Amino acid sequence: MTATTDRLESLFASRVREVVPPLFGAAGEPVRPLISLAYGLADPDLFPRAELMAAAAEVLAYEAADSLNYALSYPGLTDQIVERLRAEGVAAQPEHVVVGYGSGQILALLPEIFVEPGDTVIIEAPSFLGAVRRFVQSGARLISIPVDDQGMDVALLSDTLRKLAAGGRRPKFIYTIPTFHNPTGVTLSLERRRQLVALAAEYGVPVVEDDAYIDLRFAGEPLPSLAALDQEGWVIRVGTYSKILAPGLRIGWVHARREIIDRLLMVKAEGTTGPFITRVVARFCENGRLERHIAMLRQHYAAKCAAMAAAIRQHFPAEASFVMPAGGFFIWVKLPQGVSARALLEAARARGAEFLAGTACFVDRAQGEHAMRLAFSFQSISRIEEAIAIIGAAFADL
């Protein structure tokens, strides 16, 4: 077996020789049950089961021939995406939209059309490593820009772009989660949004705007998306139905210039996204039903976020700090001086709860040692409160 393994592994491409554990779901969770606040899973109690069953039944009853055969994605869903983009000020057209198998597929395809080994890609620090890992696998050289309470440090980004340009280097794209950032929960300010879009146009660098959480606002006033502020087509807007409907449907989308869309379609080798599931999603979303469902999600997630924040204030040391998010799935806690996230995680797991150590959110795992990401999306309020109390008690174990 060893000889066979060695001979087989010599065939693998260099980008996949090292096996990396999956980032998603509860993979690798220990046998002993834990209350997990580690993963940004949607609350299954909020899935619209009956309505989705009815939509699927209608598609099978009236559109079976078109939905169950080889066919293109349902254009009606693309039209709905375009309508929602236009409502927020984006000059969207159907030919500028591609539907994919979740936003994760889109984010994996972008380096396929932009990145050669050694090319520069700019990301935030911390960031969603599910996407960043794809950039690494493409051979990109990553440059990280820190995130503070107002989002990406755009002044530092400006300096970075200027220095790169002086050295004859032009990044292939900038990856950002500007609204209810994963993992920090912060939102890029309006002034920084304008500056970021201006920098993209000045240096000719696309901005990948990952807006998975933009619809889940439960406090404050909405800010314009980067795509809405963009006048020259440098913003690539990526969205998903995973957070506002159900992740298992695997429906995401991208809006970009036609030159980008044409090349994404070239590398989307399996073809268009299923005609059946795109019809089901479109049927569910029509007649304002999606917006009513989102309003319900906002109410429920707001209550969970508030409960988690109150529990943190009650059970964590006073020196632990966080920015109260106005939406999304996460609270990012900065730990007291001298407290290690990984040591705290070990102590919390021994007591029966877990979180995501901040080190998991940086390409350089040496960073993030004094922070944690807590997901309030999946667990019930009572379980959130119990888990926070357990983690609070674990501070004393260090």
Q: Taking each helix axis as running N to C, give the angle between helix 341-351 and helix 381-395, from 0 to 180 degrees, rounded to the nearest 10.
A: 120
What CA–CA distance (Å, rounded) separates 213 from 377? 12
Of 1-5, 97-101, 158-162, least confident by mean pLDDT is 1-5
pLDDT at 29: 44
Query: Looking at the domain covering 49-289, what would its CATH class be?
Result: alpha beta
Q: Residue 221: how many CB atoms within 10 A of its CB?
A: 7
The SS3 of residue 93 is coil
CATH of segment(s) 2-47+292-395: 3.90.1150.10
Q: Are 255 and 227 in contact (CB under 8 A)?
A: yes
pLDDT at 27: 41
What CA–CA distance (Å, rounded) separates 174 from 120? 9
- Tell me whether the CATH fold assigned to 2-47+292-395 matches the one assigned to 49-289: no
Residue 35 has pLDDT above 50, yes or no: yes
Q: Residue 38 CA to chain centroid, in angstroms? A: 14
Q: How is the chain split into domains, by residue range?
A: 2-47+292-395, 49-289
The SS3 of residue 50 is helix
What CA–CA distance (Å, rounded) separates 238 from 85? 11
- Interval 128-176: pLDDT, tens: 988 888 999 999 999 999 999 999 999 999 999 999 999 999 999 999 9
Beta-bridged to residue 142, according to DSSP, are 121
At residue 352, φ and ψ (nearest 5 deg) are 120, 20
Closest CA to 330 of 28, 25, 42, 34: 42
Give, as one character, the DSSP assignment of residue 83.
Answer: H
Beta-bridged to residue 209, according to DSSP, are 176, 237
What CA–CA distance (Å, rounded) separates 197 from 95? 23
Residue 244 has pLDDT above 50, yes or no: yes
Q: Are 218 and 327 in contact (CB under 8 A)?
A: yes
Q: Are 172 and 114 in contact (CB under 8 A)?
A: yes
pLDDT at 327: 98
CA angle 28, 306, 346 (to 5 degrees): 30
- Interval 9-34: pLDDT, tens: 777 777 677 776 555 444 444 445 89
| Helix intervals (H) in the chain | 2-9, 49-62, 64-67, 75-87, 102-114, 129-137, 154-166, 190-203, 226-229, 258-267, 275-285, 289-315, 341-351, 381-395
Q: Are 178 and 189 in contact (CB under 8 A)?
A: no
Query: Could you give the C-alpha distances from 311 to 36, 40, 183, 345, 387, in angstroms and in order?
Result: 15, 19, 19, 17, 9
What CA–CA distance (Å, rounded) separates 225 from 55? 30
pLDDT classification of 272: cutoffs 50, 70, 90: confident
- 187 vs 131: which has the higher pLDDT: 187
pLDDT at 269: 84
pLDDT at 7: 72
On the 0-12 / 13-18 / 19+ scale of CB atoms within 10 A, 4 is exposed
Residue range 342-367: mean pLDDT, rounded: 94
Residue range 267-285: mean pLDDT, rounded: 93
Q: Do the strands 321-322 and 173-176 form a parallel or antiparallel pair, or are they unpaired? A: unpaired
Residue range 261-283: mean pLDDT, rounded: 93
Neighbour-count burial for 283-304, b at 16+ CB within 10 Å, e otherwise: bbbeeeebeebbeebbeebbeb
- Interval 209-238: pLDDT, tens: 999 999 999 999 999 999 999 999 999 999
pLDDT at 26: 43
